[in-house]
Each structure stands twice: as C-alpha cells, then as structure tokens.
Structure 1
Amino acid sequence: MKTLPSCILYSRDDELTGRLIRISTSVVALQLIEEPVDLEQWIAQFGDTVLLADLRATNCLDMLASIRKEKPATIIIPIGADRSDPMLAVEWLEPFATLSLEPDRREFQTLLKQAVECLALRQKNKVLEEELATLNARKVEQRPQPRTLFSAPLQNFSKAQRNFDNIDMLFDSVVEGLVATARVSRAGIFIKPDSGDAYLYKAGTRCLATTEKLRVRPDSPFVRWLEMNTHLVSRKTLENVADPQERAMLKQMLDSLGAEIIIPLYATGCIKGWIFVGQRSTGIPFDIADLEDMTGLADHISTTLEKALKYEETALQKALAETVLHTIPFGIIACDEHAILRWFNTTAREILKPQSEVVIGQRAEVLGSRIADMLRSAVGGQHMPCTKEWTDNRTKLTLAAETHCLTDGGSCVGAMVMLRDVTGVKLLKEKEEQVERATFWNELASSMSHEIRNPLVAIKTFSQLLPQRYEDPDFRAEFSKQVTTEVDQLNQIIDKINEFANPPKPIFQPLDIRKPIEHAVTRIQSELNHDNLKIHLSADETALQINGDTTSMEECIYHLLKNAAENLANKPGSRINVTVKGRSPEKGSGNIYIMVTDNGSGIDPSLRDKIFSPFITIKALGFGLGLPIAKRAVIDHNGQMDIESSSGGTTVSITLPASEEQE
C-alpha cells in the first residue's frame, strides 16, 4: 500500500475541515490541528511541511509569520474569503497559493500535488545547501575533543534481566538503565508487537507527547534503511550517509523523536525496534568513541530483549499447557524415574482428596499404595499401558486408572497415571443391566406362561373328566395320547430354553458355506411343506470356504428361512431367494456374503428396534429365539448381520470372513 505524503490543516471549522479532508484523501494524508500550541510543537518536531491555514483560526497571521521566519521551506496555503482583510494582510508572507472557503475539488487536488512537489524540491535544495556547508566545514581544521566515557558501566542493565516475567517492566528497566549509563536528558524505546502492524512507543523518559503517539509502519523508508544498513543513526555521523535524500529522511526522524542517536534492536533475526537518546545532561556532545560504546550497549539490550521475548513465549505456552491440564475432566499424575511426584492436576486432587496438602516433590506413596505401585511398575520397565479399576476404601469412589511409561530417546524418564472417577458411570451401567435383566425375565415369564398354559389347560381338562369317564376305553386312550403330547410339548419348550441358554461350543474347521445352506433349505422344505412357497438358492463360482461350524451355520440359515416362511404364510407367489457371493482380496476384501430375501409384508414397525432380543415375537406359537440364535452364530464366526425391511419384503445380509487358505 502506497504511503501518502502528509499535510497539516490548521482550522477549527468542522464543516470546512470535513470537506477538505474528504476531497484530499486520494492525494495527501491531511492531519488536523486545532490549537496554536500543538501547531508550534508539530512544526518544531517534524520540520518543513505543507500547511493549509484557516485565517479565521486563533492567532493565525502571527503563527504564519513565525513559521515563515523559522521554517522558510514550509509551503503555506492560506484559506479565507477573497479580498478580505486577513487575505490581503497575508500577501506580504508570499504564500505558495491562496484558497477560498469553498474550493473546487479538481483545483484543490491539483494545488495539493503542486505543493507537495514544491516541498520536495525545497527539501532537496536544503539538503544540497547543508551538504555544501559540511564540505566547507571540513576544510577548517578543528582541535580534537577530549575522550568522554559513559559515566556508568554496562552492569546497570543487569537489573533489567530480572524482569523477564513482565515485558513492560523490562522496557522501563531498559530505559532507566540507558539514562543511568549514558547520562542523557531523554531516552525511549520503540517495539513492534508480534501481532501488530506498526512500531509503537513502549517506554521513555521526558519524551515529547507527539513521540508517544507516533506509529511507524514496517514499510516506511526509515525501517527499510535500518534493515539495509543495520547500524545506528547519529547526528554526528549523518554526513557519512551518501544519499542526500536518505540523509534528510534520517534527520527528520531524529527531529521527530527529539533524539541525538537512534540504535536498532535485533531479536529473532529481524529488527524488533529501536532505542533513541537525546543530548547529554551535561551538554557535552557524543564523540566517535561514545558511539562505539553505545553500539555495544545496544547489542546488550538486543540480547536481553531477545531472551525476554523467548521467555515470554515459553511462559505463555507453559501457562496455556498448565491451564489445559488443570481443566481436563480426568486426573493426571506424573512422576520422575525415581517415583517422585512432579505433576498433580486439580482434577486428580478432587478425585483422590490426598491427606497431605503438599504433593509435588513427595514420594508416590503419599497418594496411596495402589497409585504408587502403578507408577513404580511403569517406571520399572512395564512400557505397555496398564488399565485398572477399583473402589477406594477411603473415598468410596470407583476409580479407573491407565498407566503409561514416559520415555525420552528410548530410556524411561518417568511415568504418568490418567485417573477417572467412574462411580456414576458404573452405577448407571448397573441400573441399565438391572433394567435389561428385569425386561428379560418379564419377557421370558410372559412367553413361557403363554407357551405352557395351552398344554396345562389340555391336561387339566382331561384330568377333570377322567373320574367320570374312566370306564370309557376310548376316552382313556385319548387321555393317554393327549397328555403324552402336551408333556412332550412342555419338554420341547424347556429344551429350547436350555439350547438358547447353553449353546454347544462351535467346532471350527474348513467349511464350504453352501453345504449348511443346502441342508437348511432341505430341512425347512420338509418341515413346512408349503405348496405355494418357492425357495431359490444361487451361488457364484468363486471359492466359498470359511473357517466355521457346520451345525451352527445350518441352524443360523434354518432360523432365517423359518422366520421368512412363517411370515409368508404359504400365500400364493411366496418366494425366498438365498444368494451366496464371494469376493477375492484383489477386489477389495476376503469376505463371503449371504443374503436371504423374501417378498412378504416386512417386519412389524413395533419390533424393528428389538428384533434381535430374545422372546420378542408376534406369532401365536414360538419363543422369538430364531433371530437371536442366528445372530449369535454369525458373531461366533466373526461376522456381521444386517436387516433391511419394508412393506415389499425383508432382506437379511450376512458377511463372513473367508478362510485364510482361501485368502
């Protein structure tokens, strides 16, 4: 972004100043000054400029006469009514131009451009005149001045190093040490914050008010000059600057700071700021040897500043880390390689409630034998994370702890325990398990009462009629047959419950998955004998080997087919498709896929969320154990079962890992 030249507007007319500032923004940076004192100080500090003066302002004519005398290179443009007495009176000052109270935009912008160009020419002429005067002065032999030394050694800066924890106090200490060492009347420091876009005044002694408000952008000519030349700026050595424009710019910077010397400060490989000092309190000027001492002093300040900035960054990171560690919802306990506690956050204190207020620096046993044993075991070489859970006898809390060994370069430097209070979680889990158990037994009791009641009713009915019809041989034969049938039904119910509660342990061996599927299809067709039901089995040509149990997989497919067939209820057009596919590892995964699809009415919406729970069924007969038994078989084979159901039918998808030989 291009920096616009600065101009001064001296006026107290809000309407006029607002209009002039608006129409000049594209040409110059117009700075408003309303008080005579501020105008005098600004001219004295920053030198020649373009001055637009409202003749109606306080003491305007007197101020212009003083400025013309002291700063003849200043461009003066009076503003007033044409042919008014103040406008006629100001003509003897030979202003650059005059301006009406309602100037035309284009004419005003053109006038400003011409004034800025004229000021630049006058400043160049002034530089050339000073250069000529300097050349003439060199011809005059001067007597050497006596060597003057700093009145205090560099050790005055040692106290600044004690303020690393407060960067603002460090700046104040630097300025105090500078004043004490160089015995100067004025000193200050400018620093660019890491997140800032300009160099700002940070501390100083007897500095001008305008200096404290000064902002210097990193792309300013002064900063660029420091980056290129990397040495101090002194009025005594300005004559050594070859470029007259650079020399004028440096002199203007010295004037704006009221300084005799400006010394750059370096930190982290770049210009972090600068310090400046005014004249000595004794009035004795600085000589070349003093400038060399000042350079050494600046190097010492730069080193101190760089250390302080690194310390501040480290302290900030440490504070953030400690804040995070103290606010995380689980306790952290850390010890060194000798099991001496080095970290103990707030959450750990709330959980353990140690009897000793001081924990850091104590042996691990201060937190109890269990925590101490875990830490010592980790320090002793058990690098694998270890998780334990127990109930603390003193606090009655259920705690879970995970231990880690801390290593550096392969060697153990300590251990850490992450501690959690799982009392509430455990109680909630126990309540959930109680609810699940209660639900299980309620459903079991309801289902068993439904299944057992029918045989018992039949047995009771025949038993009640037996005394009356005992002599009837046909009745006795029917009684014997019916009771035997109902008792067998009761035994079958008990066998199903026992089978579900105590399934046989599967025997895994290489198995072609098509064989148990074919057996299940044959079995279901022989049992149901539905005339309208068609079961279609298809399998691709890839190897379909798994490591599985034949009986378990046959029961799985059998129950899926039985559920589908019972749902279809032998309706016309009933159809069940059983599809088996294999996929080789080269095509993505070594899995086998089984899909059982029917064209029934789908699963009842009220049962979709709990179809895998035992004893959940809407059928008049049965315990609802088919799908739970099927899913358990799939899980035993490290597989996965998914069900998709709609009003057009249901699809059960089974994914099984292929055997290692196949892969």
Structure 2
Amino acid sequence: MAEEYSTRGDRLEKKQGGINPFSEKEYLIPEFGNILVYEGNHRVIITQRDSNCVVYNIDTVILQNSEGKLLSSIVFCEDQTEKKRMEEKVEMMEKLSIAGELAAGAVHEIKNPLSAIRGFAQLLENSFNEADERREYTNIIINEIDRLSELIKEFLVLTKPDNRHYSKESINKVIGDIVPLIQTKAVMNNVSIKTSLCEEIPEISMNKEHMKQVFLNLFNNAIEAMPQGGELIVITTYQDNDIKIEIIDTGCGILPENIKKLFNPFFTTKEEGTGLGLSICKRIIENHKGSISVDSNPGKGSTFTIHLPVLI
C-alpha cells in the first residue's frame, strides 16, 4: 500500500490509507524526509492557499552499500492532479447517470396520471357555469398541471435527450428563425436586436428543435437581463472547423459567485422559473460535441459563447 502524508501549516501527519491534504508545496521536501529514506510508493496531496489540491505520486529507490548504509535516493515524482480530477469527475458522472435514469423513469411515470388529472379538471371546469367561482379553482389546478408538465418535459430533455432527429442544418438559419419570435418581447422591453452572421459557415448535423430551444432560452434570458432596455447582439464566426456563436447583452450582468453555479440544474436567480433552462442548453450543446461558457461584468452585461465543431 502506498504511504500517504498530510500537513496543514507546519503540522505533519503520516497515515496509511485515505487521502490527506498538504497546505503548501514548499513543505514537501523539509517535512517528508521519510520519502527520501524509505523505499516504496508515496502519495502526496497538497492543498494550496486557494483550496485547490495538487496530487503527486512519488516512487523512491534507495541505494545502499554492502553494510546497509544509505548512499543516495532516487525519487520519481509524477503530477497526477489532472488524472485524479478526471477520476473524480467520472465517478460523479456515473452516480449522476444512475440517479438521472431512476429519476427520469419516475418522472415519465408521472406523466400519465397527470394527464388524467388535467382531463378530469377540465371536465369539472366545463360543468360549472361562467359565474361559478369554482371555475377559478379548477383553472388554477389546470394551470399548475400545465406548469408541472412543462417542468417534466424540461427534466426529460435534461436526463434523456432525444438524439434521433439529427439532420444537416444551418446555424444561421436556426438563429434567423428564432429572432422574429422574440422581436415583440424585445420591443416591449426597449431592446434592439443586432446580428452579424458569417455567411461562410457550413451546415452541421444537429437536432434543429433542440438547437432552437437553446437560442430561444438564451435570447429570452438576455432580454430579461435588460429591464431598462439595451442591445442584444448575436455574432457568428467560423474558423478552423469551429463555429463560434456569441450572444451579447448590455444588461445587469451576473454576480461572480453565481457564474460557477449558472449551468447547475435548478439554480436560478429569478422569482419564477425552474432553473433548468441553462442546464438544458449546456446538455444540448454538449450532445452536439460543443461547449458553452459565459463571461460577465456586473452592471455592464454578459456574453454567452458557444463553440460547435464542424465534423469532417
């Protein structure tokens, strides 16, 4: 078994087994003399000031004379930080995948009884005359069922995206189809929409409806981030088999502490909303082998950047 060491500040602890953090890299040599005098494998994890961990795998070979006296040590040090992070990421993805499959199955089973409840609520509402105040209650039931149905639909897209309906499409055409849909909302919020679309972008294989969902969500978010009006700018460029789409707004921006959580399921800063919109966008883009990121300056606006590969 590899020996593992830990220290925090000037305190040193040597243990067998679990992962133990260091506080600073500079403690490695003075604190771990045992690494130099005992042959074997050692695992060292250093927790830096910013709380990020660095993982080292150290193998020590001891050279002795015929009397067993230590002459020198050969130490092989390998940085395994990225490997450790990937292992943790894979482990987390496996857990989430299992949980997602179970949740998706449960959510799917909810759809049928929910449809029945809505149908009977609709029949009940129709049985009341227009003046009956009970129509207000049945209307609330129906609206809440519709809201829950939409949440279920979004959740199923997040956990089990449909990859069957792929075809060669133009990303500029998809964007062009969405702009008219948000034009009225933009005018009502005093937001002007500007586009700069590269004509040289080739068609790519995509689920067109899912991609429309991405841009509709991002455009709506951008408009809602500009309650006092502003500009929504959409730019597409193409270089080295990479399509780059930038969605820029001049709105309120995003707080730094919210940036990392922005694409997490159910995270939202809105009073109303499921918190699934951006996580669904991320999932759809990743299913197209792409990436999505955000850069924001509070009080000045945000830029969402999407990269989509053109697969040869």
TM class by smaller structure: 0.5 to 0.7
Deviations 1:209-243 (A, max 9, x none): xxxxxxxxxxxxxxxxxxxxxxxxxxxxxxxxxxx
The reply on whether 1:654 has 2:310 as its aligned counterpart is no
- Which whole-Å CA distance do the structure 1 matches of 2:130 and 2:283 have between them? 51
The reply on whether 1:522 has 2:169 as its aligned counterpart is no
Aligned ranges 1:568-607 → 2 under 5 Å: 568-569=226-227, 571-572=228-229, 574-583=230-239, 589-607=240-258
Deviations 1:300-341 (A, max 9, x none): xxxxxxxxxxxxxxxxxxxxxxx99x54549xxxxxxxxxxx
- Which whole-Å CA distance do the structure 2 matches of 1:567 and 1:595 have between them? 16
The reply on whether 1:513 has 2:165 as its aligned counterpart is no
Higher helix share: 1
- Which whole-Å CA distance do the structure 2 matches of 1:429 and 1:542 have between them? 40
Query: What letter corresponds to residue 183 of structure 2 in structure 1?
Result: Q
Structure-2 residue corresponding to 1:14: none
CA contact (8 A) 2:189 2:223 kept: no
Structure-1 residue corresponding to 2:213: 555
How far the C-alpha of 1:487 sits from its partner, in A, is: 2.6
How far the C-alpha of 1:628 sits from its partner, in A, is: 1.4
Structure-1 residue corresponding to 2:272: 621
Structure-2 residue corresponding to 1:46: none
Query: What letter corresponds to residue 539 of structure 1 in structure 2?
Result: L
Structure-2 residue corresponding to 1:637: 288
- Which whole-Å CA distance do the structure 2 matches of 1:549 and 1:471 have between them? 45
How far the C-alpha of 1:506 sits from its partner, in A, is: 5.0
- Which whole-Å CA distance do the structure 1 matches of 2:266 and 2:148 have between them? 16
- The secondary structure found in structure 2 opposite 1:490 is helix
Gaps of 5+ in 2: 1-35, 44-58, 61-83, 104-127
Structure-1 residue corresponding to 2:10: none
How far the C-alpha of 1:526 sits from its partner, in A, is: 5.2
- The secondary structure found in structure 2 opposite 1:473 is coil
Moved more, 546-555 or 644-653: 546-555
Structure-1 residue corresponding to 2:197: 539
CA contact (8 A) 1:639 1:657 kept: yes
- Which whole-Å CA distance do the structure 2 matches of 1:652 and 1:521 have between them? 16
- Which whole-Å CA distance do the structure 1 matches of 2:187 and 2:302 have between them? 21
Query: What letter corresponds to residue 620 of structure 1 in structure 2?
Result: E
Deviations 1:94-138 (A, max 9, x none): xxxxxxxxxxxxxxxxxxxxxxxxxxxxxxxxxxxxxxxxxxxxx
How far the C-alpha of 1:433 sits from its partner, in A, is: 4.3
- Which whole-Å CA distance do the structure 2 matches of 1:541 and 1:490 have between them? 41
Answer with 1 or 2: which has the greater Rg: 1
How far the C-alpha of 1:491 sits from its partner, in A, is: 2.4
How far the C-alpha of 1:622 sits from its partner, in A, is: 0.8
Identity %: 28
Deviations 1:33-57 (A, max 9, x none): xxxxxxxxxxxxxxxxxxxxxxxxx
CA contact (8 A) 2:241 2:310 kept: yes
CA contact (8 A) 1:516 1:550 kept: yes
How far the C-alpha of 1:577 sits from its partner, in A, is: 0.3
Aligned ranges 1:276-425 → 2 under 5 Å: 327-329=40-42
How far the C-alpha of 1:509 sits from its partner, in A, is: 3.1
Over the aligned positions, Cα root-mean-square deviation in angstroms equals 3.9
Query: What letter corresponds to residue 580 of structure 1 in structure 2?
Result: T
How far the C-alpha of 1:563 sits from its partner, in A, is: 1.5
TM-score normalised by L of structure 1: 0.28
- The secondary structure found in structure 2 opposite 1:568 is coil
CA contact (8 A) 1:545 1:659 kept: no
CA contact (8 A) 1:563 1:626 kept: no
Higher strand share: 2
Aligned ranges 1:95-494 → 2 under 5 Å: 327-329=40-42, 429=88, 433=92, 473-494=131-152
Query: What letter corresponds to residue 216 of structure 2 in structure 1?
Result: Y
How far the C-alpha of 1:612 sits from its partner, in A, is: 1.3
The reply on whether 1:610 has 2:239 as its aligned counterpart is no
- The secondary structure found in structure 2 opposite 1:644 is strand
- In structure 2, relative to structure 1, the CA distance for the partners of 1:610 and 1:648 (3 Å cut) is same
- The secondary structure found in structure 2 opposite 1:514 is helix
- Which whole-Å CA distance do the structure 1 matches of 2:309 and 2:171 have between them? 11
- The secondary structure found in structure 2 opposite 1:601 is coil
- In structure 2, relative to structure 1, the CA distance for the partners of 1:608 and 1:631 (3 Å cut) is same
- Which whole-Å CA distance do the structure 2 matches of 1:548 and 1:472 have between them? 47
- Which whole-Å CA distance do the structure 2 matches of 1:604 and 1:527 have between them? 25
Aligned residues: 210
- Which whole-Å CA distance do the structure 2 matches of 1:568 and 1:539 have between them? 23
CA contact (8 A) 1:506 1:552 kept: no
How far the C-alpha of 1:618 sits from its partner, in A, is: 1.0
- In structure 2, relative to structure 1, the CA distance for the partners of 1:504 and 1:479 (3 Å cut) is same
For CA contacts below 8 A with separation 6 or more, give which structure has more relative contact order.
Answer: 2
CA contact (8 A) 1:591 1:658 kept: yes
- Which whole-Å CA distance do the structure 2 matches of 1:567 and 1:478 have between them? 33
- In structure 2, relative to structure 1, the CA distance for the partners of 1:558 and 1:648 (3 Å cut) is same
- In structure 2, relative to structure 1, the CA distance for the partners of 1:474 and 1:618 (3 Å cut) is same
Deviations 1:28-77 (A, max 9, x none): xxxxxxxxxxxxxxxxxxxxxxxxxxxxxxxxxxxxxxxxxxxxxxxxxx
- Which whole-Å CA distance do the structure 1 matches of 2:223 and 2:277 have between them? 12
- Which whole-Å CA distance do the structure 2 matches of 1:611 and 1:659 have between them? 28
Aligned ranges 1:42-81 → 2 under 5 Å: none
Structure-1 residue corresponding to 2:76: none
Query: What letter corresponds to residue 625 of structure 1 in structure 2?
Result: L
- Which whole-Å CA distance do the structure 1 matches of 2:159 and 2:196 have between them? 34
How far the C-alpha of 1:497 sits from its partner, in A, is: 2.2
- Which whole-Å CA distance do the structure 2 matches of 1:495 and 1:529 have between them? 29
Query: What letter corresponds to residue 576 of structure 1 in structure 2?
Result: L
CA contact (8 A) 1:639 1:654 kept: yes
* 2:225 aligned residue (567, 570, 577): 567
- Which whole-Å CA distance do the structure 2 matches of 1:514 and 1:472 have between them? 48
- Which whole-Å CA distance do the structure 1 matches of 2:140 and 2:293 have between them? 42
- Which whole-Å CA distance do the structure 2 matches of 1:508 and 1:472 have between them? 47
